[in-house]
Structure 1
């Protein structure tokens, strides 16, 4: 692989504009090459003679280097370090400006200087941010150790330590004096262990290499002095913590072991993310240094001049090449994490801090092909079985479509969703959209499009196996057993999903279950992108209505459970759909996903104070009203309900279209350099975005099928509704790609490549609050 492709593949997507513009500099070298060729043709020199001259010149240059290694290089360029506001700024003077075509060389070095200054400035800013965060983590770590010391104090039951006040409380002063009085006479193992921890924490301070940001010195510190004016800064993230934060006093808070454990978990997550930051910054430096080396060697090769050593010496002495703080911090973070968070187990610490990259497995590709071929064969066998044995004749088709078809269509919805998600992941990877970071997947555990495609094809294979088994048993006049097959398939899928063993992509299953649980518990959990993204997927399953039974995944679940719990599977009786309780759930189940999104938006409005979240909540509330009206019309077919259904659905649809295209996708910007699109696009062809907008508008109006009762000739009504449901899933898959693209570009615009991890402790003096 050429270095240009490798460089693009390895750079951090969110920082891509801060890297050396290797591709543009390479194009400038092509201009220099063309200038040399024109000069050669003008002088009448043949290519062979020039090559020999170049070879002799290089040999002669090598001989001259033995006597004066820098003489020729200094005659090519002269690099000066111009200080501006205490920061380095490099300017290169091309000393052979009198040559013909030298303007291309001058332009090249001017651009190279701009790139070096840009990279240096960005790297310096990142290192300074890291040093500030290291000092804060150092202070947080010592607060954790000191609080641990207070809890281990044998007299802690006599003293109530209060945290959260801006001034030292009476209890804190009393505890300080008690520790001072007992320091000489108390020689217990717990107290010695605490003092040793504080001393070792001081010894391993992050900032021992010359910076003044460190908050601790090597002197011995008292635990209570360390935690003076400290309060716990644990944000409510669960229903329990949310209620506790509402009911408890925010000014004073009794510190407990539970708070200590929670603070330790938060600090552990902060150390993991900080270690990741260090690695990214270090890779930024290494990759840019290599790019400077490569581009200068190409310059020497094309021009025959020897300017690389002079310039690379300057690059090596610049802040980018000479800063050693990041490397030292990496070692200190790893040693601190090993000692305090993995009980000294270095191997476990490295597994957490440096997870191995997931390797592509050939058996995944093999199984995808096997399951796909099996599914196609079973589809052909199903068609043959129905035609040859004439299983459904004289009303059998109607009974099958009314009773059994919805049981399998839920599996079809899941299959199509997985298929669209696999396509989204493939496109995200192709266009370098950092979806694992955006979703917050555990490093190295995210599923690629091959794994998602494998799961989808496995669902397809076993679903088709269930269908053909069902048909085969019908030919043998087994009335009950065929009806149980969909239930068995669903139970198997649910068992795999909640399986407690670390098999079948355990971490991804837990992530999905946790996100789904937080969606159902809205608004009591803090709303993150995975939660509202997953809730949006649920909304795509309840967009279409059916008068008798349900086709969409969520309503199919209602039908699925009622069909088996009420015993209707014994004779394919669907009269239970006319039950009053069933009709009530018919309304309730349809609005659950939209109501969840409405509550999530309200929670974000309260926390983030963003008025757009309030408008988003109103959008979903309007959709709830529209769904209720369409459901009522499906049960009461008259002109009043039809008019109300058209009116509410039309309003909700226009609002949703605007929100999709303008807010979620960031398109339709009048003053953009890309007309009616955004400033930055990851897809080079603008027509793709316009096509996506047209398809989104068209599919948004597919709800009219449920009002106009449109039916495709020659197909059963259930099949028609299923086709429109599949179109909605396709629309959601398209929305997923552009929604994450817009999120990725927002991160790129803010150079946001790290997660914001909250820290457990806050200081009442107003300093180092995070």
Structure 2
């Protein structure tokens, strides 16, 4: 019969943790705990957790020393057979040890609280140093104390922060309630109802703790103005001071929304604190039990008694009560006393892995592979590469279908990014600001990408005719409209308001895209400039959309003919659409420069300005040719490439640090193999110079010009996919270095009592 023990840890890191172990296989269970312990850490706080692996390494050294000691001890006992016999009767009888003395001698450690520089810490004295191997055990307890003091100090700091934030939120709630009363004009009604109450009822109300909120609070607060939308900016310029209505329902909704978000984020902090406390206490318990087993001592009881009496354990009740008060406040004031609705908003939703996702993904991967194989076989079987209409097909149809190739390739790169971000515990949902439980995993992204690939390949197979209909002297209208229909289908799905096909992710993408288009009118968040950077690698896809409009709007799609390249309007927009993503990033940098006063944003803006000039001159050379355009485009492209490469490696990736302990990289690396970083550096440099094909006009006889353009554009997408991983890795490590695990939520009110007192 096996003895099983199970510990249930509710809601740690957005999912329940269940740790089971069997006494028969204790070693495997400990390995499992170490992995579970690491997986349940708050990623940005991982350095503040107890270093379980390092302490376990010391215990392994102690275990090896004990084993060697037992082996040597066997030889020593064998030598006692040759010692002189001392007799059966002792000449002097030993006195028994008193109970108090026995208790003292049975102890192995003494744990004391020490005050250093005004802060409390703990020191453990190992009482068996004189024994063989005692120095190693003493070192273990010294490291153990360092880890516990680190954990305790960090926890104290975070608890103080949440208590201070709780007081601030309490003041914000007082102001919100007064603001509600002012907007709803309820103050007179409340006063009348209070005056009409009997004295006994008033006393009962007072004794029950219910109090009315005085409107005088509003005289000591001011409503913070936010300039995050074009409307707020325009309103700030148009409205004259004193003419705006502060106590309006519109402002009330904004205030409630801000405070609701602040409470949700604050509750998440409290949950992380409870998880942090529980996991660390469990880790100390585990490591001490492991110590007891290896050394055959009973020191865990004494040490865990200290842990249980420390701030790490005692303050857990305080955090729990604070969580309960937050729940009650949120349910009452933001969920209309609907507890189920309120708790659903407060608690992060657990993302479930559905088998139908894996099944559908496998289905569409198989369909895409089969369609690609069928496409290759049909081309060779029909000899389509030798048909007269091949050139016409490549000039007209190939640019239409290459759009889907660019989108699918970018999505595949993004799916691989998500897979590796998860593997190396990069907290990409927090960095991008996804609503918890709604972010897409790599399986979902792969499913969408292969579904789109299957549809596009089906459209290509249906539209492989290289010869016109001999009777009508035209191509089939229905099949010629398939690319346009597929584009319209994608747009319809993207803007579909119904809760299907990952609506939250679609709307998140559309909101960020709208912010990029409207730059610099919106406040720049990371997801906005990250998306704008993705668009800079999809210039050819944007040009394909321009070609769609020209081809189906003014061309003769039934004859597969167009006059786009000879149109001055088309050529003008050929410049503009290529510049739009870089211009958006340039404006975003200007906005951040004005708001943050960070000169690095100005330098980043110059990088995009240089790229705009390079793109413009390369486009002019591709359209008009000429030696002068070739020289100009080459010079500006080289400047922009060197500038961009340096920015990628040094600023965005944080690499090429000469004084780093990982030479030419950075101090902290998530990938164990350093060669991966050097390979990424080389690839980034090489792929950055893909523009040489345009400037040098490199052509291959076996490749059509449109095919070569598609290949060069695909290389840029691959470069961007590599850039994505290391860019977010560097962002994550910066958050880890600052223990930044939560969003900064602006509060709606500012108390100005101190300012008024100072002015008086």
Partner of 1:549: none
Partner of 2:669: 681
Cα-to-partner distance string for 1:614-672 (whole Å, 9 max, x where unaligned): 11111111111111111111122111111110111111111101110011001111111
Which residue of 221, 224, 241 corresponds with 2:232? 241
Partner of 1:719: 707
CA deviation after TM superposition for structure 1 residue 43, in Å = 1.0
Partner of 2:393: 400
Which residue of 405, 418, 424 corresponds with 1:425? 418
Matches within 5 A, 1:337-416: 337-391=330-384, 393-416=386-409
Q: In 2 relative to 1, CA 641–270 (structure 1 residues): closer, same or farther, beyond 3 Å?
A: same
Q: Secondary structure at the match of 1:675?
A: coil
Quick check: 2:547–2:564 contact (8 Å CA) kept in 1? no
Partner of 1:229: 220
Q: Secondary structure at the match of 2:753?
A: coil
Which residue of 444, 453, 464 corresponds with 1:451? 444
Structure 2 distance, partners of 1:74, 1:613, is: 65
Residue 258 in structure 1 maps to residue 256 in structure 2: no
Partner of 1:10: 40
Cα-to-partner distance string for 1:98-141 (whole Å, 9 max, x where unaligned): 10110111000011111111100000000000000000000001
CA deviation after TM superposition for structure 1 residue 469, in Å = 1.3
Partner of 1:701: 689
Structure 2 distance, partners of 1:683, 1:767, is: 51
Partner of 2:262: 270
RMSD, matched Cα: 2.6
Quick check: 2:110–2:127 contact (8 Å CA) kept in 1? yes
Quick check: 1:92–1:109 contact (8 Å CA) kept in 2? yes
Q: In 2 relative to 1, CA 105–513 (structure 1 residues): closer, same or farther, beyond 3 Å?
A: same
Partner of 1:598: 586
Residue 298 in structure 1 maps to residue 315 in structure 2: no
The gaps in structure 2 that reach 5 residues or longer are 1-28, 78-98
Q: Secondary structure at the match of 2:523?
A: coil
Residue 138 in structure 1 maps to residue 170 in structure 2: yes
Residue 520 in structure 1 maps to residue 517 in structure 2: yes
Quick check: 2:618–2:633 contact (8 Å CA) kept in 1? yes
Quick check: 1:364–1:454 contact (8 Å CA) kept in 2? yes
Q: Secondary structure at the match of 1:92?
A: strand
Structure 1 distance, partners of 2:647, 2:439, is: 29
CA deviation after TM superposition for structure 1 residue 562, in Å = 1.4
Partner of 1:659: 647
Which residue of 148, 156, 159 corresponds with 1:124? 156
Residue 479 in structure 1 maps to residue 476 in structure 2: yes
Q: In 2 relative to 1, CA 342–68 (structure 1 residues): closer, same or farther, beyond 3 Å?
A: farther
Structure 2 distance, partners of 1:709, 1:267, is: 58
Which residue of 36, 61, 77 corresponds with 2:109? 77
The gaps in structure 1 that reach 5 residues or longer are 48-66, 156-178, 204-217, 543-551
Partner of 2:454: 461
CA deviation after TM superposition for structure 1 residue 411, in Å = 0.2
Of 446-455 and 246-255, deviating more is: 246-255
Q: Secondary structure at the match of 1:697?
A: helix
Quick check: 1:519–1:535 contact (8 Å CA) kept in 2? yes
Structure 1 distance, partners of 2:653, 2:386, is: 49
Which residue of 135, 145, 150 corresponds with 1:103? 135
Cα-to-partner distance string for 1:553-605 (whole Å, 9 max, x where unaligned): 00000001211122421211122321111111111111000000000000001
Q: In 2 relative to 1, CA 286–74 (structure 1 residues): closer, same or farther, beyond 3 Å?
A: farther
CA deviation after TM superposition for structure 1 residue 72, in Å = 7.4
Partner of 1:553: 541
CA deviation after TM superposition for structure 1 residue 502, in Å = 0.4
CA deviation after TM superposition for structure 1 residue 610, in Å = 0.5
Partner of 2:278: 286
CA deviation after TM superposition for structure 1 residue 475, in Å = 8.8
CA deviation after TM superposition for structure 1 residue 714, in Å = 1.0
Q: Secondary structure at the match of 2:611?
A: helix
Q: In 2 relative to 1, CA 187–97 (structure 1 residues): closer, same or farther, beyond 3 Å?
A: closer
Q: Secondary structure at the match of 2:747?
A: coil
Quick check: 2:401–2:483 contact (8 Å CA) kept in 1? yes
Partner of 1:37: 67
Cα-to-partner distance string for 1:524-547 (whole Å, 9 max, x where unaligned): 0000000000000000122xxxxx
Structure 2 distance, partners of 1:660, 1:604, is: 19
Quick check: 1:402–1:574 contact (8 Å CA) kept in 2? no
Partner of 1:758: 746
Quick check: 1:527–1:603 contact (8 Å CA) kept in 2? yes
CA deviation after TM superposition for structure 1 residue 349, in Å = 1.1
Structure 2 distance, partners of 1:674, 1:315, is: 37
Residue 539 in structure 1 maps to residue 536 in structure 2: yes
Residue 589 in structure 1 maps to residue 577 in structure 2: yes
Q: Secondary structure at the match of 1:93?
A: strand
Quick check: 2:393–2:466 contact (8 Å CA) kept in 1? no
Cα-to-partner distance string for 1:460-517 (whole Å, 9 max, x where unaligned): 1111111111127979775322211111111111111111110101111110011101
Q: In 2 relative to 1, CA 300–617 (structure 1 residues): closer, same or farther, beyond 3 Å?
A: same
Q: Secondary structure at the match of 1:526?
A: coil
How many residues align structurally? Answer: 695
Quick check: 1:539–1:593 contact (8 Å CA) kept in 2? yes
Quick check: 1:479–1:571 contact (8 Å CA) kept in 2? no
CA deviation after TM superposition for structure 1 residue 251, in Å = 7.8
Partner of 2:463: 470
Partner of 1:311: 303
Q: Secondary structure at the match of 1:90?
A: strand
Q: Secondary structure at the match of 2:123?
A: strand
Quick check: 1:147–1:223 contact (8 Å CA) kept in 2? no
Structure 1 distance, partners of 2:707, 2:417, is: 26
Residue 649 in structure 1 maps to residue 637 in structure 2: yes
Q: What is the TM-score with the length of structure 2 in the denominator?
A: 0.88
Q: In 2 relative to 1, CA 219–391 (structure 1 residues): closer, same or farther, beyond 3 Å?
A: closer
Structure 2 distance, partners of 1:393, 1:678, is: 54
Cα-to-partner distance string for 1:255-276 (whole Å, 9 max, x where unaligned): 1221111011000000000010
Residue 25 in structure 1 maps to residue 55 in structure 2: yes
Which residue of 135, 151, 159 corresponds with 2:183? 151
Which residue of 100, 103, 124 corresponds with 1:92? 124
Of 600-609 and 247-256, deviating more is: 247-256
Quick check: 1:234–1:263 contact (8 Å CA) kept in 2? no
Q: In 2 relative to 1, CA 567–17 (structure 1 residues): closer, same or farther, beyond 3 Å?
A: same
CA deviation after TM superposition for structure 1 residue 767, in Å = 8.1
Quick check: 1:431–1:683 contact (8 Å CA) kept in 2? yes
Cα-to-partner distance string for 1:54-79 (whole Å, 9 max, x where unaligned): xxxxxxxxxxxxx9999379611110
Quick check: 1:73–1:309 contact (8 Å CA) kept in 2? no
CA deviation after TM superposition for structure 1 residue 220, in Å = 3.5
